């Protein structure tokens, strides 16, 4: 066990994977000599050399298309997209190629690439360094989507992703890269996909969140507790596969649900989760499900704290669901 930040835990996970398996390699913009603009790949090139820690030219479709070709040949590339906002030049490679290779070849060509990308707002990044667009990828069959919220999960989920056999989108909450700190197990530590984490147990309502929304959700739960409202906070950890059983069980217990994400509301992940709860836990619900999300606008610069859900908005939604039933 060592105490570290979330971004350090990503770095430890990459070191561990590269040590374990010579087929693992890292590629992306500024990931080598510079160690990544957030330092997630710091030191890797010194340890493993420029053959396995590749500074690429500036082309996202080039990075992901190349990673796909490496994976088809049998390597295990971990590609970094510098900000999730810049992934769109590679969107075609991700949704048309990476996600579909195994299926379209009848299983002849599995294509296991891990794509890491810092995502989300709260860092004064404006329109193009703040977005949270996980839903695009969740909507594409063939991609797994993991989003850690703690240092231990960052390392554990990343190692699971690298040892998985399917493509994984690994989105890192850059707002809490350095503020989320905690103990992280040494060595080969893995957190399974599809298992939500109960951050806090509760009786009266369930708050579902992931990534950088876990701290405000926990803060809201603490404030509600002072008024005798017991909120359960569930960190989904992986959106694909989704731990539906945990979500349904929590709502069967509490009867109320608030779904939180910083992505825009319309067709966001909260819409899917709300629909699943409506289909599978309807008769346990005592109040309508509420969503606390970013707004259906582009991500703003000056007004980012208006856009982003915070503890106060989550608390208000929780009190609203408590009014009914």
The residue ranges that bind other proteins (CB under 8 A) are 25, 51-52, 56-57, 59, 61-62, 64-75, 77, 89, 92-93, 96-97, 100-110, 141-142, 144, 164-166, 194, 240-241
The least distance separating other proteins from the CB of residue 17, rounded to whole angstroms, comes to 16
d(CA 294, CA 164) in angstroms, rounded, equals 31
CA distances from 308 to 5, 158, 224, 237, 314 (A): 22, 26, 20, 20, 11
Q: Specify the residue, 142 or 202, whose C-beta has the smaller distance to other proteins.
A: 142
Helices assigned H by DSSP within the chain: 6-20, 44-48, 60-73, 91-92, 101-104, 134-138, 151-163, 214-226, 244-254, 269-280, 304-307, 311-323
The least distance separating other proteins from the CB of residue 220, rounded to whole angstroms, comes to 31
The least distance separating other proteins from the CB of residue 183, rounded to whole angstroms, comes to 31
Catalytic residue set:
129
Contact between residue 243 and residue 195 where contact means Cβ atoms under 8 Å apart: yes
The least distance separating other proteins from the CB of residue 294, rounded to whole angstroms, comes to 27
d(CA 216, CA 235) in angstroms, rounded, equals 12
Cβ-Cβ contacts under 8 Å for 42 (sequence gap 6 or more): 11, 35, 36
d(CA 216, CA 205) in angstroms, rounded, equals 16
Q: Specify the residue, 107 or 228, whose C-beta has the smaller distance to other proteins.
A: 107
The least distance separating other proteins from the CB of residue 74, rounded to whole angstroms, comes to 7
Q: Specify the residue, 58 or 225, whose C-beta has the smaller distance to other proteins.
A: 58
Closest-CA residue to 56 (of 9, 84, 90):
90
The least distance separating other proteins from the CB of residue 154, rounded to whole angstroms, comes to 23
DSSP3 helix / strand / coil % (the chain, rounded to 5): 40, 20, 40
- C-alpha 132: how far from its chain's center? 9
Say if strands 76-80 and 114-119 run parallel, antiparallel, or are unpaired.
parallel
Q: Specify the residue, 110 or 126, whose C-beta has the smaller distance to other proteins.
A: 110
Q: Specify the residue, 99 or 314, whose C-beta has the smaller distance to other proteins.
A: 99
The least distance separating other proteins from the CB of residue 164, rounded to whole angstroms, comes to 8
Q: Specify the residue, 51 or 227, whose C-beta has the smaller distance to other proteins.
A: 51
Closest-CA residue to 223 (of 121, 317, 290):
317
Q: Specify the residue, 94 or 322, whose C-beta has the smaller distance to other proteins.
A: 94
The string over 267-300, giving b where at least 16 C-beta atoms fall within 10 Å of a residue's C-beta and e elsewhere, is ebbbebbbeebeeebeebbebebbbbbbeeeebb
């Amino acid at each position: 066990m060592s105490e570290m930040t979330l971004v350090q835990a990503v770095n430890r996970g990459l070191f561990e994977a590269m040590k374990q398996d010579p087929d693992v390699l890292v590629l992306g913009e500024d990931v080598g000599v510079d160690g990544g603009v957030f330092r997630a790949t710091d030191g890797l090139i010194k340890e493993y050399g420029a053959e396995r820690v590749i500074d690429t030219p500036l082309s996202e479709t080039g990075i992901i298309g190349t990673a796909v070709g490496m994976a088809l040949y049998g390597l295990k590339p971990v590609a970094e997209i510098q900000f999730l906002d810049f992934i769109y030049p590679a969107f075609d490679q991700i949704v048309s190629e990476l996600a579909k290779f195994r299926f379209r070849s009848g299983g002849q060509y599995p294509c296991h690439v891990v794509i890491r990308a810092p995502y989300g707002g709260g860092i004064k990044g404006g329109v193009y360094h703040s977005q949270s667009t996980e839903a695009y990828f969740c909507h594409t069959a063939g991609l797994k989507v993991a989003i850690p919220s703690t240092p231990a999960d960052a390392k554990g989920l990343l190692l699971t992703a690298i040892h998985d056999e399917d493509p994984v989108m690994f989105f890192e909450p850059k707002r809490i890269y350095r503020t989320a700190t905690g103990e992280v197990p040494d060595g080969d530590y893995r957190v399974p996909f599809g298992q939500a984490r109960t951050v806090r147990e509760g009786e009266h309502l369930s708050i579902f969140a992931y990534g950088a929304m876990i701290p405000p959700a926990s803060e809201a739960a603490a404030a509600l507790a002072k008024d005798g409202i017991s909120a359960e906070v569930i960190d989904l950890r992986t959106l694909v596969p989704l731990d539906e059983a945990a979500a349904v069980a929590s709502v069967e217990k509490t009867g109320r649900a608030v779904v939180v994400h910083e992505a825009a509301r319309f067709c966001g992940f909260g819409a899917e989760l709300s629909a699943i709860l409506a289909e599978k836990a309807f008769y346990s619900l005592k109040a309508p499900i509420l969503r606390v999300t970013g707004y259906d606008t582009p991500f703003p610069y000056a007004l980012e704290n208006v856009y982003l859900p915070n503890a106060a908005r989550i608390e208000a939604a929780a009190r609203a669901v408590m009014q009914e039933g």
